[in-house]
Amino acid sequence: MAGTSADPGQDPYVHRDEVGAAGGVAPLGDGKKVPVENLPDRVLTTTGARPVGKGELLINAVANGIQSGSAPIDNTAALQALIDSVTEKGGGIIAFPPGSYRMNSVTVKSGVHLAGLGSRGAAFNVNPNHGLENTVNFVHVSDNTGAMLRIAGGGISITNIALRGNNYPATGFPLMHVLDGFEFTMAHVNFFSKFGTVLLIDHMNNNHWLDVKITDGKSVDGSAAVVLRGPTEKGFASGENNTVDFAGLTIERYIGGPQFDIAYGKSGNYWAEFVRILHLHVEAEASKWPAESVNAESALVRIGNVMGLEFVSPFIFGGGPVPLVLVHRQMVRGGAPLDMGVRFIGGQLLGTKIDEEPFKPTPTLVDLRAGNDVAFIGTQFGRCTSSAIVIRPEFGANVTLDPSTTIASSDVPLVIDNRPANVYRTWTHQGTLRTTRDVLVGRHVKGSLTLGVGAVTVGPNAGSGGTISVVGTDLAGQITITTGSAPAPGGIGEIAFAVPYDRMPVAQITPVDRTTAALRPYGVAKSDGTGWAFGFDGTPAAATTYRLAYQVLG
């Protein structure tokens, strides 16, 4: 293989591995020419570049006019010219030694790879004055007029680089805007200190991201830290985000707005399909957000118009007064083969349950507001005051929680389901189903009856000194009535439900002997579902025992 080298202390030379010239080296100097037999396989004249492998470009950015340092250095024009040159030659690697490189807005084109050579490119770095000497930093100029990096092409990669906004007042431009990212790879990249959206993704396909971190930002007018939407000029007709893979995406300390919006919007510009997110890590304490930042649309992760979205082992923490996850589909795509399909596989979702300043408790962790087909498989929930999941009346039938999904609380339900009964999915099982405990669907029960009963009230028509005892539950049992003196026809007593029904049930009374049957007993449930009453149409005898069986359906 042939290569070139230049050492300041020696003559330039052309090196060949083939046996020929002495030591494989032909010195060049004093106007000498390279012998034909020592010509390299390929000569690349790009300044500061050397062949790698079979001629790939590896270009040192500093050797090509890119400068590190503070203001007034601005590398925008020089870096754009270098990227354009590399693109024209079929692509290559632009390598950046440790340092801070200031720029306004640069477009990264097909086949260009930006690689940081620092030892701390992906290190978590809170203190901006610590470790910068070993880090490759791209710094957005304060008077920027566009996204610092605009991704526009195929086969692009960004590795081992920190992108810094330095918390300049919002300009409306993110640190990175992915306009078109076919097979776009990003690994070990940090985004720091940005007002407004940090990372805006319009269109990606077949991408793979590894260890990408967003830290220390601030929302402007409700903007999310990371926004995955759709091509703004194409809509549903010509493109969308699909087959998008994230591994190790971390979003921390972005204040005052959503952390991650996934196709969350009302127009055809918001659509994503077949998105796989592994090990998502989101931490945001919404208790510290300004009061005006919290509204009905607030959540840490907002999911909109998607098809095939999977979270594998997510960790989402914080919330304060807002949900961790909001699922709110606002557009339906005609002809889509899947009806959403959102999966949470494993992971932990933890809210805030400390009710003391400055913290505010999290009522609900997941708000299923509109859409369909969401499943939680082995997910753990904790630290909420109302429920882990709330299902709104408009949500679809397909909501699944497998038995390994749990909530770490004994006083808060896993789910509050507000859908009407006719929405629920119908399950079909061809075999015989047996359980050792009750099977409860709403208030319909098969199996042993384990619920208790509430308070029993003896009415005046039972007569003075009359008694009523109940052996049973809210759902079924037996009533024993012993009348006192001077009983009368009409209401004899009332039984309160231990657990009220959410609607008016039906109470059925059956006399257990001929004497009781002769009094024509009746029962009626209360309209508010809190209990039911029973009585006799005939006049009972004094100091006599009557027995009734009952069943309540609702």
- Tens-binned pLDDT, residue by residue, of the chain (554 aa): 344 444 444 444 444 444 444 444 445 556 666 555 555 554 444 444 555 544 556 899 999 999 998 878 999 999 999 999 999 999 999 999 999 999 999 999 999 999 999 765 444 444 555 555 678 999 999 888 899 999 999 999 999 999 998 766 666 789 999 998 999 999 999 998 888 899 999 988 999 999 999 998 888 888 999 999 886 554 444 457 888 999 999 999 898 899 999 999 988 788 899 999 999 999 988 777 777 778 889 999 999 999 999 999 999 998 888 999 999 999 887 778 888 999 999 999 999 877 666 778 899 999 999 999 999 999 999 999 999 999 999 999 899 999 999 999 888 999 999 988 777 776 666 777 676 666 665 555 544 455 678 899 999 999 999 999 999 888 889 999 999 999 999 999 999 998 888 889 999 999 999 999 999 999 999 999 999 999 999 999 999 999 999 999 87
- Rounded distance, CA 526 to CA 87, Å? 77
CB 341 within 8 A of CB 308: yes
Pick from 248, 239, 170: which is nearest to 202 by CA? 239
On whether residue 340 sits in a domain, the answer given is no
- Rounded distance, CA 207 to CA 281, Å? 19
Residues 94 and 19 reside in one and the same domain: no
Cβ atoms within 10 A of the Cβ of 318, count? 22
CB 554 within 8 A of CB 506: yes
On whether residue 445 sits in a domain, the answer given is no
CB 540 within 8 A of CB 521: no
Domain count for the chain: 3
Per-residue model confidence (pLDDT) at position 444:
52
Domain boundary among 150, 170, 192: 192
Residues 62 and 178 reside in one and the same domain: yes
- Rounded distance, CA 441 to CA 157, Å? 52
- 301-303 and 260-262 beta bridge pairing: parallel
On whether residue 510 sits in a domain, the answer given is yes
The residues that bridge with 495 in the sheet, in sequence order, are 456, 532
Per-residue model confidence (pLDDT) at position 439:
62
Residues 12 and 118 reside in one and the same domain: no
- Rounded distance, CA 281 to CA 279, Å? 6
On whether residue 201 sits in a domain, the answer given is no
Per-residue model confidence (pLDDT) at position 33:
60
- Rounded distance, CA 245 to CA 208, Å? 5
Per-residue model confidence (pLDDT) at position 131:
53
Domain boundary among 166, 192, 218: 192
Which three-class secondary structure state does DSSP give residue 500? coil
Residues 26 and 68 reside in one and the same domain: no
Q: What are phi and psi of 132, to 5 degrees?
A: -65, -25
On whether residue 70 sits in a domain, the answer given is yes
15's tokens: 């090196």
Domain boundary among 170, 192, 214: 192
Residues 107 and 158 reside in one and the same domain: yes
- Rounded distance, CA 311 to CA 348, Å? 11
Per-residue model confidence (pLDDT) at position 307:
93
The residues that bridge with 163 in the sheet, in sequence order, are 138, 191
Dihedral (Cα; 339, 345, 348, 353), 10-degree rounding: 30
Residue 103: enclosing H or E segment and its boundaries? strand 99-103
C-alpha angle 472/477/481, rounded to 5°?
95
Residues 78 and 178 reside in one and the same domain: yes
Residues 535 and 476 reside in one and the same domain: yes
Domain range enclosing 110:
56-192
297's tokens: 């649309």
Pick from 338, 348, 414: which is nearest to 373 by CA? 338
Residues 470 and 542 reside in one and the same domain: yes
551's tokens: 């069943």
State the DSSP string of 441-488.
ETTEEES-----EEEEEE-GGG-BT-EEEEEE-SSEEEEEEE--BS--
Give buried/exposed letters for 15-44 (b at 16+ CB in 10 A, else e).
bbeeeebeeeebeeeeeeeeeeebebeeee
Per-residue model confidence (pLDDT) at position 24:
45
pTM value surpassing 0.85:
no
- Rounded distance, CA 194 to CA 165, Å? 5
CATH of the domain at 99: 2.160.20.10
On whether residue 255 sits in a domain, the answer given is no
C-alpha angle 529/531/537, rounded to 5°?
120
On whether residue 541 sits in a domain, the answer given is yes
On whether residue 114 sits in a domain, the answer given is yes
